């Protein structure tokens, strides 16, 4: 595929590069990260550029790699009147995302209790495929959660009132309609709130080491400004519920595409006009799954507070276990941007990409209005993660988006062939990282060598101006789903 470097960190294929492209395809990456990208990224991002109603560019972030339909790291903006909505541009794990909590604790206080903490958290937050969480809701109660999101479980005692304002969209995306969700999806999700899941999902205890605070003023505002301060980060989504919503609507969209005369270069880009009954039904069901994911991460937050409180014999508020932020990275949302000098409402698909809104953005909560939206970029369980902040440049260049993680360089199968889970656990413990995992094969799949260099990805988005570094976080304990 004919991608040319058009500026430092920007690679572009023009609309003439592939028959059917409506806009250029752009990849944001340094020379080194661009060379690491698999062929699937180039094919997929140019296929996305062919989707009806796409605006300005089809984009891929520096952590991009091959995915289902869209590349992971893909961003596309559609005109709501003429464009489509595609489950492949959102992902099966709808509203998979990251949540970040601070504490008042230091590494010296946590290290002597680290094994006990991780062991207790491993049992408090069920991991693996098909596990059940602590809530037992009736169907009408679960439908309330689909509409109310995080607030639906906070009012049941699983959180603090102020948690909601520290979540993207305050933990509740409007427009959810449980009537558009199948009975099978409901049955798969109703008992899974408070579960971590499998694959690349994890919960991690991390430390801010000296030299890893890049913007002290912003770090102070966020409450993560002390060397050796302990924080908690986790990655999970809508679990089987979101997966079933995606599966249900791919089947519906397959039939709808014929009816609307839509063809795509890849069957995994199945879609429907956003304004059609099928497109609107999926959007309403997708929002139900997105709200369920916010509720899932809220229940996990509550369980983390319970375990820390019990082990340190102090109230969770006294331990300072505040939510700093919670971000989606598999979602489609209506947002406003300037295109060709005009402000327009657009449907933004983010598939493995994080929102990166700047200071002053009207959708931000008052507490973050002056500094911009916190951006959480999770790395592999060996190499650490970053907290960043949103920028004006992201609004101009990437529809308010940035990277979401390290991005794989190796398939899960290839990673399992390179390292055995038991050997990796031993190696990590020698490095001071204690891990509990649902399976040894799952650990091997998530080895650091299977991912891009997280610092290279974060440096790339900062150099491009898509987000700004605040703090680097390094793991000392991990629960692997």
Known catalytic residues? 404
Secondary structure class of 234 (helix, strand, coil):
strand
Phi/psi at 306 (nearest 5 deg)?
A: -60, -45
In whole angstroms, give the CA distance from residue 150 to residue 164: 7
Q: Which two tokens stand for residue 300?
A: 């996990």
In whole angstroms, give the CA distance from residue 69 to residue 46: 11
Distance from the Cα of residue 329 to its chain's centroid = 3
In whole angstroms, give the CA distance from residue 252 to residue 270: 9
Pure H helices in 275-365: 277-312
Taken in order 165, 196, 386, 334, is the CA torsion positive or negative?
negative
What b/e sequence results for 15-41 when a residue is b if at least 16 CB atoms lie within 10 Å of its CB, and e otherwise?
Answer: eebbeebebbbbbbbbeebbebbbeeb
Q: How many residues comprise the chain?
A: 481
Residue 173 contacts residue 179 (beta carbons within 8 Å): no
Phi/psi at 99 (nearest 5 deg)?
A: -130, 145
H or E element in which residue 57 lies: strand 54-65
Pure H helices in 313-359: none
């Amino acid at each position: 595929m004919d991608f040319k470097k058009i500026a430092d960190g920007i690679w572009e294929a023009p609309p003439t590069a592939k028959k059917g492209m409506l806009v250029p395809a752009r990849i944001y990456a340094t020379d080194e990260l661009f060379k690491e990208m698999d062929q699937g990224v180039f094919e997929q991002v140019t296929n996305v550029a062919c989707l009806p109603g796409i605006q300005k560019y089809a984009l891929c972030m520096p952590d991009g790699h091959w995915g289902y339909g869209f590349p992971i790291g893909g961003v596309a903006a559609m005109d709501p009147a003429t464009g489509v909505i595609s489950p492949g541009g959102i992902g099966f794990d709808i509203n998979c995302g990251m949540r970040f909590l601070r504490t008042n604790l230091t590494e010296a206080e946590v290290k002597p209790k680290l094994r006990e903490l991780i062991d207790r958290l491993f049992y408090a937050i069920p991991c693996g495929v098909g596990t059940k969480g602590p809530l037992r809701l009736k169907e009408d109660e679960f439908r309330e959660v689909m509409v109310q999101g995080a607030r639906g479980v906070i009012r049941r005692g699983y959180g603090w009132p102020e948690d909601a304002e520290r979540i993207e969209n305050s933990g509740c995306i409007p427009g959810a309609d449980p009537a558009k969700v199948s009975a099978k999806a409901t049955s798969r999700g109703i008992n899974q709130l408070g579960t971590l899941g499998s694959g690349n999902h994890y919960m991690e205890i991390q430390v801010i080491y000296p030299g890893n605070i890049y913007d002290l003023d912003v770090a102070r505002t966020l409450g993560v400004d002390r060397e050796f301060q302990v924080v908690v980060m986790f990655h999970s989504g809508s679990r089987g519920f979101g997966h079933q919503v995606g599966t249900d609507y791919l089947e519906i969209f397959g039939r709808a595409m014929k009816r609307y005369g839509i063809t795509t270069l890849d069957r995994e880009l199945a879609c429907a006009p956003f304004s059609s009954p099928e497109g609107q039904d999926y959007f309403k069901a997708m929002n139900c799954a997105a709200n369920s994911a916010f509720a899932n991460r809220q229940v996990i937050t509550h369980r983390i507070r319970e375990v820390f409180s019990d082990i340190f014999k102090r109230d969770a508020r006294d331990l300072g276990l505040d939510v700093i932020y919670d971000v989606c990275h598999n979602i489609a949302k209506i947002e406003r941007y300037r295109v060709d000098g005009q402000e327009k409402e657009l449907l933004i698909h983010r598939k493995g990409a994080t929102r990166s809104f700047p200071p002053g953005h009207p959708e931000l909560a008052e507490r973050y209005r002056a500094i911009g939206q916190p951006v959480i970029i999770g790395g592999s369980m060996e190499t650490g993660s970053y907290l960043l902040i949103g920028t004006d440049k992201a609004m101009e260049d990437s529809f308010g988006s940035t990277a979401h993680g390290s991005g794989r360089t190796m398939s899960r199968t290839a990673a399992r062939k390179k390292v055995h889970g038991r050997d990796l656990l031993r190696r990590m413990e020698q490095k001071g990282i204690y891990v509990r995992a649902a399976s040894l094969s799952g650990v091997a799949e998530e080895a650091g060598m299977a991912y891009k260099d997280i610092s290279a990805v974060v440096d790339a988005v900062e150099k491009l101006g898509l987000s700004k570094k605040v703090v680097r976080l390094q793991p000392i304990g991990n629960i692997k789903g």
